[in-house]
């Protein structure tokens, strides 16, 4: 419920003393639902009527008695609702689903609450509008049971004889993360400090739509709903503790076009391989030796810094410093996406890929700079594939060089000392110091199977640490590693357990910037007693069905935000993930 209060309609009352609150006592909807069902899934859209009874309460000063007065007004609304959802049958009698609804009950005409006692002016008036965004998780019980199609063969490619053209791909995912932090040492709070004793929840729902235009040419589109914030509004820890938390979080479901891109594959002959249908992949057959060109909107992590054991916070590690090379300042807006071009040359033994993409207009900006020829991010990666004792391994060597509008840490600190009146803190100096600058660095990423059920990962990354980060994290150097184990040993082959650790650090000039009150992308206490940030994480993922998993996660962070005055902090999380 939202209301606008343009004023009292008279001059002898200060509007600051007026308070009007709206409360919804009852609302209901009559909706129609239509959709498409396949296998164990139902994808649908909804529309219909919505109505509500609302009560408005006004409080204002009683000028006649120097006390307070109150008034009440009841209103009725009638409007419409639109929505969409998906559900999946986890059992012949049970299904889980996610449902989004938009409700719009329109604007009311102006209405009044009567005359303020003792005034000579007109009545207190207001008008209101009612809109609502809702996202709900569902668990449904069907006593009579559901009629389910047989399970499809997981490894089956498109069969040209089954009536399917093989030109389309439809998949989806939903991830809900609930996370909390207990109490910890916190002698003071700065603008971007981690706050003790709190809990937050994030939700994402994504559709992966694909279409094969011609042989070798494919188009993909990913609409995505997201809702919620990380702890402390995704602030306070350099290696943040929830990979699903976006810097562009919202308290209501927000729809974005997270990806839209064209992929063109040029086969170079020789050996071929079959590619299964999957998210952003139409089932096809392609040459192993090939050149691939991607143009459009995407996440840099879709193509770079991959690791089968630690790369996706929807299914494995939560912490930014574990699922990514965290000193890699990849080009991205606040939601984690950019626009550009990726080119890859692939052979059986190795792959070389490069990307040139838009960077934000300035640090922590959600707007990508359109001047991509003058300012942009160049990323290159060499991926080497090998085998040790019949166990597959991969090494990835990456480098990046970004041109963007940023401040130099040392120069910003110097300005605060030269003119404390004009530049009272490092943030004011940084704003004045921003101009086109370069930030560069690199990473090494190891992925190694130790047995059919046990794998190891490790990453080392570093940046020059001279200028502000544009996109990802306030980290200039990082080392991380860990292990992932499948549950085959104890008879749960689809379960997984992981353990990992990371240590993050920043350059000396970066430390001085924070000590002078500087604010970074996600941290900034107003002061700093430096110590490297150390992270330990472990999780257990329980497979409830083939498509639904529940994960429990624990993280320990010493010196969050590189501040030895804060923490150590303990984080506890639960994640429900479903995909099809």
Q: Please state which of the ranges 12-21, 91-100, 217-226, 306-315 shows the lowest mean pLDDT.
A: 12-21
pLDDT tens digits, 347-396? 999 999 999 999 999 998 889 988 887 789 999 999 999 999 999 999 99
Find where tokens 């019980």 sit.
141
pLDDT at 159: 41
The 3-class SS string of 214-274 reads ECCEEEEEEEEEEEECCHHHCCCCCCCCCCCCCCCCEEEEEEEEEEEEEEEEEECCCCEEE
Residue 24: Cβ within 10 Å count: 14
pLDDT bin (cut points 50, 70, 90) of residue 109 is low
Same CATH topology for 2-141 and 168-579? yes
DSSP strand pairing (569-579 vs 548-558): antiparallel
pLDDT bin (cut points 50, 70, 90) of residue 417 is confident
Indicate whether 156 pLDDT > 70.
no
Indicate whether 546 pLDDT > 90.
no
Indicate whether 219 pLDDT > 90.
yes
Residue 547 CA to residue 89 CA, distance in Å, equals 10
Residue 519: Cβ within 10 Å count: 22
Cβ distance 179 to 572 under 8 Å? yes
pLDDT tens digits, 178-200? 999 999 999 999 999 999 999 99
pLDDT at 283: 93
DSSP H or E stretch at residue 181: strand 168-181
Residues whose CB is less than 8 angstroms from the CB of residue 106 and which lie 6 or more positions away in sequence, other chains included: 77, 78, 79, 129, 130
Return the CATH class of domain 168-579.
mainly beta
Cβ distance 328 to 400 under 8 Å? yes
Extract the runs of DSSP E, i.e. beta strands, from 39-158: 41-62, 67-91, 94-107, 111-115, 123-141
Residue 537 CA to residue 317 CA, distance in Å, equals 8
pLDDT at 26: 73
More confident residue, 141 or 109: 141
Residue 321 CA to residue 335 CA, distance in Å, equals 17
Residue range 498-503: mean pLDDT, rounded = 98
Indicate whether 22 pLDDT > 70.
no
pLDDT bin (cut points 50, 70, 90) of residue 51 is confident
Cβ distance 325 to 461 under 8 Å? yes
Check residue 342 and report its DSSP letter.
E
pLDDT tens digits, 547-561? 889 999 999 999 999
pLDDT at 8: 26
- Judged by DSSP in three states, 172 sits in strand
pLDDT tens digits, 29-42? 888 887 777 667 77
Tokens representing 178 are: 């609930």
Give the burial string for 448-474 (b: 16+ CB within 10 Å, else e): bbeeeebbbbbbbbbbebbbbbbbbbb
CA dihedral 313, 319, 323, 327 (to 10 degrees): 140
Alpha-helical runs (H) found in 11-123: none
Mean pLDDT of the chain: 85
Statement: the pTM of the whole predicted model exceeds 0.85: no
* Percent of the chain residues past pLDDT 70, beyond the cut: 86
Q: Any idea where the domains of the chain sit in the sequence?
A: 2-141, 168-579
Architecture of the domain delimited by 2-141: Beta Barrel (2.40)
């Amino acid at each position: 419920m939202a209301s606008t209060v343009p004023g009292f309609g008279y001059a002898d009352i200060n509007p600051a003393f007026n308070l009007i609150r709206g409360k919804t006592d009852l609302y209901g909807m009559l909706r129609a639902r239509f959709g498409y069902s396949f296998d164990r899934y139902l994808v649908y859209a909804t529309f219909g009527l919505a109505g509500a009874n609302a009560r408005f309460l006004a409080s204002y000063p009683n000028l006649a008695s120097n006390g307070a007065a109150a008034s009440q007004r009841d209103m009725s609304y009638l409007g419409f609702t639109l929505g969409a959802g998906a559900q999946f049958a986890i059992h012949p009698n049970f299904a889980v689903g996610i449902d989004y609804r938009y409700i719009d009950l329109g604007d009311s005409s102006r209405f009044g609450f009567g005359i303020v006692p003792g005034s000579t002016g007109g009545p207190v008036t207001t008008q209101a509008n009612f809109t609502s965004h809702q996202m709900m998780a569902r668990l449904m019980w069907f006593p009579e049971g559901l009629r389910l199609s047989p399970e499809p063969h997981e490894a089956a490619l498109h069969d040209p004889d089954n009536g399917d053209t093989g030109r389309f791909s439809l998949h989806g995912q939903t991830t809900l993360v609930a996370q909390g932090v207990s109490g910890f040492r916190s002698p003071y709070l700065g603008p971007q400090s981690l706050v003790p004793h709190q809990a937050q929840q994030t939700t994402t729902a994504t559709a992966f739509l694909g279409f094969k235009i011609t042989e070798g040419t494919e188009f993909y589109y990913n609409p995505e709903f997201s809702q919620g914030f990380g702890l402390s509004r995704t602030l306070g820890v350099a290696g943040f503790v929830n990979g699903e938390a976006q810097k562009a979080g919202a308290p209501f479901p927000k729809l974005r076009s997270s990806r839209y891109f064209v992929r063109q594959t040029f086969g170079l002959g020789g050996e071929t391989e079959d590619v299964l249908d999957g998210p952003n992949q139409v089932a096809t057959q392609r040459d192993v030796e090939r050149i691939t060109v991607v143009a459009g909107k995407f996440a840099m992590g879709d193509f770079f810094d991959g690791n089968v054991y630690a790369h996706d916070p929807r299914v494995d590690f939560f912490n930014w410093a574990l699922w990514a090379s965290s000193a890699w300042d990849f080009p991205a807006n606040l939601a984690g996406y950019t626009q550009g071009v990726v080119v890859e040359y692939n052979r059986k033994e190795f792959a070389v890929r490069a990307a040139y993409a838009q960077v934000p207009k300035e640090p922590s900006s959600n707007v990508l700079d359109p001047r991509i020829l003058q300012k942009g991010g160049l990323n290159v990666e060499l991926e080497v594939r090998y085998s040790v004792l019949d166990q597959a391994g991969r090494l990835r060597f990456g480098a990046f060089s970004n041109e963007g509008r940023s401040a130099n840490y040392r120069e910003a600190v110097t300005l605060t000392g030269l003119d404390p009146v004009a530049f009272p803190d490092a943030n004011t100096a940084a704003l004045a110091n921003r101009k086109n600058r370069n930030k560069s660095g690199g990473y090494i990423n190891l992925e190694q199977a130790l047995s059919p059920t046990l794998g190891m990962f490790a990453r080392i990354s570093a940046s020059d640490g001279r200028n502000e980060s544009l996109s990802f994290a306030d980290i200039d150097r990082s080392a991380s590693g860990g292990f992932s184990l499948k549950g085959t040993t104890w008879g749960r082959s689809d379960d997984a357990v992981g353990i990992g650790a990371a240590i993050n650090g920043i350059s000396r000039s970066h430390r001085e910037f924070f000590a002078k009150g500087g604010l970074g992308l996600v941290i900034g206490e107003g002061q700093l007693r430096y110590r490297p940030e150390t992270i330990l994480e472990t999780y257990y993922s329980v497979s409830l069905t083939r498509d639904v998993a529940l994960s429990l996660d624990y993280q320990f962070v010493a010196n969050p935000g590189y501040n030895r005055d804060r923490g150590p902090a303990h984080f506890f999380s639960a994640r429900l993930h479903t995909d099809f």
